[in-house]
A and B are shown apart, each in its own frame.
Chain A
Amino acid sequence: MRHDGSAATLAVGAIGRQVAVRTIGEARPSIVELFSNMLERPRVDAVARLSVRGGHHGYEVDGALVPEPLDGSLDDAVRHVRHQVTLHLMAARPDLVWLHAAAAARAGRAVLLAGHSGSGKSTLVTRLLDYGFTYLGDDAIPFDPRTGHAHPLPMNPRRRIYPDRDLNDGELALLPRRVTPVAREHVCASPVPISLVVFPAYAEGHVAMRPCPPSESALELLQHCVELGRRGDGVVRAACASAATWPAARLWFDHTDSAAAMVSRLHASVASVAS
């Protein structure tokens, strides 16, 4: 790794807050690729400052809200920066409820795809763009419990690179990821009311969807609240109130095109009922 002096600071913004990310030249293209839809004019009131630099053991990141060991690779440093930017923004906006979810919007209404890592959120939300949706985010989505609006956090999706063979559960988490840039015209720029929640899960050999009852939806939303345990009652009440309002469905799939078509049709039917 070269320790050159071509460091630059990027201003990464969302939800009215900004995180400054200083990065050495070699890492800069990867950071820019990740945050290309969140780069703003720098402000003096950035909520945090991260720094990606070269160290004795490879790439290191300073300024983490929750430090963790890195393996020294650029890929791990980029993953860490992505996570830390999210955490700093979460800390800056505790009035929002943060979900481990992807989201996309069409016709002024958002569909939330809430699920664990490996459930197919990134793949599905990327494919929804082919159905006229705009992109809000693929990993963490904040929503305002007072308005029910989802806020964009449009870091570019990091999709897993699947080999041409079946995988076991352990292998899935270890698959390398590739950033898939979303064109700016396909990014949703402002908060959107959530009209549908989908809980995706990988299921080999079939695509199926069924309604998710409100109490079950509340449980799922609680599971995917990132700050559960820290804010307690407020998050629980928000999840329950939201689950009572938002139509929800479970989706099992292993074929993204079919799954995206189902989500698109359901979103359209929900939107037409709502209007």
Chain B
Amino acid sequence: MEPGGTPASAEEAGAEAPAYVPVSSEPPAPDAERLRRETAVLECDVRDELLVYLPHADAAVALNVSARAVWSLCGHESSIAEIAAALGTRYGVPAEWLLPDVRDAVASLRAHGLLVAAVP
């Protein structure tokens, strides 16, 4: 589960990858670390997916349905564990089943500059 919009398969080797992908060298967040959204963004619905635009970087990231669900739960300085728990409740599955996907999504959102560590 990760933000969509960036072609990565070998089939698409001939394509021009979207340039709106800032790169971050931040280490992965521990499950308990509290995260918050980058606030200076513009969110636009694209059907059931979401495009988030970062004006300061002139960068945009497309979030698929799964990444959008994680993003929506990051509005209150949540941790990975809390996001997994909330999604588990929503979909009726144990939170630990979702943890790997949530970790991946959070790592990708951080790499794109959309999530940052919340200051205690």
Contact = CB atoms under 8 A, between A and B. Distances in A.
Contacts of B11: 208
A119 B16 contact: yes
A245 to B, nearest CB: 9
Interface stretch (A17-25, A85-93, A231-239): A231-239
A204 B20 contact: no
Interface of A: 115-116, 119, 199, 201-204, 208, 213-220, 222-223, 228-229, 232-233, 236-237, 239-241, 243-244, 250, 252
Contacts of B15: 199, 201, 203, 250, 252
Contact of B46 (A201, A214, A229, A252): A214
A215 B62 contact: yes
A219 B20 contact: yes
A219 B4 CA distance: 10
Contacts of A233: 42, 53, 55
B18 A220 contact: yes
A215 B18 contact: no
Contact of A222 (B4, B16, B60): B60
Interface string B27-60: 0000000000000001011110111010100101
B5 A219 contact: yes
B105 interface: no
Contacts, number: 85
Contact of A244 (B46, B60, B63): B46
B64 interface: yes
A85 B53 CA distance: 30
- A-B complex: 7 closest residue pairs judged by Cβ atoms: A203-B14, A215-B62, A240-B44, A215-B49, A215-B46, A219-B18, A214-B46
A52 B38 CA distance: 49
21 contacts: A201-B15, A202-B14, A203-B14, A213-B49, A215-B5, A215-B46, A215-B47, A216-B5, A216-B7, A216-B62, A218-B5, A222-B51, A228-B58, A229-B58, A232-B42, A232-B55, A233-B55, A236-B44, A236-B53, A244-B47, A252-B14
A241 B4 CA distance: 18
Contact of A223 (B14, B19, B42): B19
* Chain B interface category by residue count: 20 to 34
A236 B58 contact: no
Contacts of B19: 223
Given A116-B16, A252-B15, A219 B47 contact: no
Contacts of B61: 219
B16 A215 contact: no
A262 to B, nearest CB: 15
Contacts of B12: 250
A243 B60 contact: no
Nearest to B18: A219
Given A213-B49, A219-B5, A236 B16 contact: no
A6 to B, nearest CB: 44
B47 A214 contact: yes
Given A222-B20, A236-B60, A243-B46, A215 B51 contact: yes
Given A213-B5, A236-B53, A240-B46, 14 more contacts: A201-B16, A202-B14, A208-B11, A213-B4, A215-B47, A215-B62, A218-B51, A219-B51, A219-B62, A233-B55, A240-B44, A244-B45, A250-B12, A252-B14
Given A236-B44, A237-B44, A215 B63 contact: yes
B16 A219 contact: no
Which of B47, B50, B55 has most A Cβ within 10 Å?
B47
Contacts of B60: 218-219, 222, 236
